[in-house]
Chains A and B, each alone.
Chain A
């Protein structure tokens, strides 16, 4: 060993390159999200008197529509998802994995497709159920219909967090209650349910938010209903379509929707914090399903029936619609919609455009999300989740105001011209990426939290630079969460409707807008073909993801 002292260049103490990354990401987020939102708020200053717009009869009607359909959806999702979660997570219910998979399927589908299914089933005149049972038996249109479809679509938002919380409760907590004299049902209700309730309630608040922000389903089931059942989102859309005249009203209504969303988010935060109990981390956890005894088969039959009616039936109806020669008549089968749609250049263009945009957005979301997570700054991570909490209609309006040529504002004229994104596909790419950034940041942060820090430290001591250690030791452990972030963003964007319908350049389509147009105005059969193709794509990709993830697991 040498005792001669040598001078080794020392790095300055501090975060070094991490600071540059944080700065870049913050600036990008400020420019593409903060600025548009600020401009939206600024715009509201010059708008007509807020109260006049908010308390106009048609606005009150829209607010009532939003509230009733969203509260209905949240209540429906809570009522179905919580008992289901208790049965799946805590008991020996047969077929529970199958039930979990079917009930979480709506999370990967655009709610619009479920809505199309219910139109095919329960249109009062031409719905399949009504053709079978007599006209007018069921009517899916109106506020309650919207609540029902959005409640089904938002069910996973309650089911998944409740399941996660329940699966972190050690069985001995229930067993201690049994030994204290509690029946199985009582043990579930007095021990497991209260412990999972904070998770279930915050999921329910998310479901409310999801329903209040929805555009496609309220448009499909509300605008053509008699009497029409507008919601805030469909009203805002209508005002924007009216051009310069409607825009100020759209801005003021957007603020109302934004305020509603903020109130619900804050409320659910407070609620979750109050009832929060630290559950087991899962280490050394023992889970012994509670035997249901004689109730086993009836409960399983109920679950399967519910899964068939809520999820499978509307999807089958869409499939049937795609092979019905004339909509609303049971007259044999035909492949004419399929051949028509598949050979139509407009469909092919829209499909290619959607696939390209979705893939690009998913790649950006995954990369930027990883960047955000690797700065380890909680504030940046929270901020990147904000666009997802903002209703898509409001976000789209803010982007239109900030970056469109068509909508000019005296003060910000120059800014608008510097970056004339409006009416280009770039605008859509920006919108998709900003909106879904939370997926990337969330998955990457959760993944990073799981990775043992000593892996990278071992690489450092083997001679790797921080960057090299990240790429060689840490990144390979993140494959599964990053793949999940990519797929979920891709699938969400490929049929995205709410943002697309406001930001798409005139004369061009993406799959979402094409679906919307065909279903709303012209040709439900062709819309059903596109929906079917998409459902098949979702199922194929999910199977592929399961296989890839399973093979990687040791």
Chain B
């Protein structure tokens, strides 16, 4: 187990900068999640920690040792890490046991120890009876569990997980998410988990780093990321807030021809601002603009109403009520966050 420290890490492919000066300190035993949309640089960051990509500038150290920086690059096989890939990457020509044994064999462990630790690792992922199977006989969820056992068997300093659940269907994803949380509680390994799914990130991690266009927008506990997103992007990406561009004038927010009344408790600075408001923070009725209803979607526990607002769509979630598309309804703010520009 070890901590990881990234200092001013840069990476570009050709002329496209992918990671633009990331600094990040991960404590030993911490579970951190890199969350962001595709192309935000989260996978590249993980692959640089793994040693599969080289840096253009900056340093990375693991357990206090510099593994990448101006002084040189330590190849991945010498970093003592474990990694789980989105595509499973279970070797199809080796049996389950052979897959899991591979890291131990390369460490030169005696045969008896290898056998014992392979069995142990397969028990962690509940595949004890599958040791002699070939990968072609396993389902996607089982393959990913083999990959997790293989990544953990050699007692890695850090476990890297690159979108490990994205190729699985919804039910399996839920199940494996729980298993990762249980394994983490049991082994206490430092884990870095890359995902584009906010639910995975919020549910699993001690801290979440939200990435956007090659920089970390916010790094915080899941609760604080959700409750107080520090930028409009984080507010939009985590919790799916509506984002409106406009001006604060007194206690009012003017967006095109429409005027919202800011509820008490929303800190406002006079001038151009971005307003971020989650669908459940809006309500029908009250004091606000009258907007034409675009569509009404029944979600089960609630109903979503979509309105046309200038050239964007405003989403409101609330209790079910009669309304026809085309009808104009009043929409008001219950809560919101303002980000001056």
* Interface positions of A (Cβ within 8 A of B): 170, 172-173, 175-184, 186, 191, 194-195, 275, 277-279, 284, 286, 288
* Cα A277 to Cα B106 with chains together (Å): 24
Determine the chain B residues whose CB is within 8 A of the CB of A184 once the complex forms: 75
B96 to chain A, nearest CB (A): 14
Select the stretch in B83-91, B218-226, B244-252 that faces chain A: B83-91
Give the chain B neighbours of A288 by CB distance below 8 A: 52
Residue of A nearest to B147 (CB): A176
Q: A175-B83, A278-B136 are in contact. Are A181 and B93 (CB under 8 A)?
A: no
Give the total of B residues in contact with A, Cβ under 8 Å.
30
Shortest Cβ gap from B69 to chain A (Å): 17
Q: What residues on B are CB-neighbors of A176 within 8 Å? A: 83, 85, 89-91, 147, 150
Distance in Å: Cβ of A358 to nearest Cβ of chain B:
43
Q: Can you list, as one digit per residue, whether each of B71-109 has a CB less than 8 Å from chain A (1) or not (0)?
A: 000011111111101110111110000000011001100
State the CA gap A184–B77 with chains docked (Å): 9
Q: Given the complex, which residues of B lie within 8 Å of A194, measured CB to CB?
A: 93
Question: Across the interface, do B92 and A179 meet the contact criterion of CB distance under 8 Å?
Answer: no
Q: Which residue of B lies closest to A277 (CB)?
A: B92
CA distance A288 to B44 in the complex (A): 13
A180 contacts which of B52, B86, B102, B160 (Cβ < 8 Å)?
A: B102
Looking at the assembled complex, report how far the CB atom of B148 sits from the nearest CB atom of chain A, in whole angstroms: 12
Whether A172 contacts B106 by the Cβ 8 Å rule is no
Q: What 0/1 readout, one digit per residue, does chain B (101-119) give for beta carbons within 8 Å of chain A?
A: 0110011000000000000
For B79, the chain A residues whose CB sits under 8 A away are: 179
Which residues of the other chain, A, contact B77 by a CB distance below 8 angstroms? 178-183
- Chain B residues contacting A170 (CB-CB under 8 Å) are 87, 89
Q: Is the CB of A181 within 8 A of B107?
A: yes
A177 to B83, CA, bound (A): 10
Which of the residues B87, B90, B106, B160 comes within 8 Å of A182, measured between beta carbons?
Answer: B106
Q: Which of B50-77 contact A (CB under 8 A)?
A: 50-52, 75-77
A376, B51: Cα distance in complex, Å: 49
In angstroms, Cα B94 to Cα A182, docked, is: 16
Contact B76 A277 (CB under 8 A): no
Min CB distance, B333 to chain A, in Å?
43
Check if B85 sits within 8 Å of A180, measured CB to CB: no
Q: How far is the CB of A144 from chain B (nearest CB, A)?
A: 35
A180→B106 contact, CB < 8 A: yes
Taking the closest CB of chain A, its distance from the CB of B328, in whole angstroms, is 39
* Smallest Cβ-Cβ distance to A175: which chain B residue: B52
Q: Which residue of A lies closest to B107 (CB)?
A: A181
A195 partner residues in chain B, CB cutoff 8 A: 91-93
Contacts of A181 in B (CB 8 A): 77-78, 80, 103, 106-107, 154
Chain A residues within 8 Å of B160, by CB: 179
Chain A nearest CB: distance from B113 CB in Å? 15
Question: How far, in whole Å, are A180 and B77 apart by their CA atoms in the complex?
Answer: 6
Q: Look across to chain B and name the residue whose beta carbon is closest to the beta carbon of A278.
A: B136
Alpha-carbon separation in the docked complex, A277 to B135 (Å) = 10
Shortest CB-to-CB span from A535 to chain B, Å, is 38
A273 to chain B minimum Cβ distance, whole angstroms, is 14
22 contacts between A and B (CB under 8 A): A172-B85, A172-B89, A175-B50, A175-B85, A176-B85, A176-B89, A176-B91, A178-B52, A179-B77, A179-B81, A179-B82, A179-B151, A179-B160, A180-B77, A180-B102, A180-B150, A180-B154, A181-B78, A182-B102, A277-B92, A278-B136, A284-B87
For B80, list chain A residues within 8 Å (CB): 181
In the assembled complex, the CB of A450 is this many whole angstroms from the nearest CB of chain B, namely 23
Would you give the shortest CB distance from B146 to chain A, in whole angstroms? 11
Q: Give the complex CA separation of A58 and B136 in angstroms.
A: 51
Within the complex, what minimum Cβ distance (angstroms) separates B166 from chain A? Answer: 11
Q: How far is the CB of B130 from chain A (nearest CB, A)?
A: 18
Q: 4 closest Cβ contacts across the A-B interface?
A: A181-B106, A180-B103, A172-B89, A176-B89
Q: Are B91 and A173 neighbours in the complex by a CB distance under 8 Å?
A: yes
Given contacts A176-B85, A176-B147, 12 further A-B pairs with CB under 8 A are A172-B85, A172-B89, A175-B52, A175-B76, A178-B51, A181-B78, A181-B106, A195-B93, A278-B92, A278-B136, A279-B92, A286-B87
Tell me the complex Cα distance, A176–B147, Å.
9
B151: chain A residues within 8 A (beta carbon): 179
A173 to B91, CA, bound (A): 6
A178 CA to B154 CA in the complex, in Å?
Answer: 13
B2 to A: closest C-beta gap in Å = 15
Cα distance A177–B85 when bound, in Å? 12
> Nearest chain B CB to A178's CB is how many angstroms away?
4
Q: Is the CB of A277 within 8 A of B154?
A: no
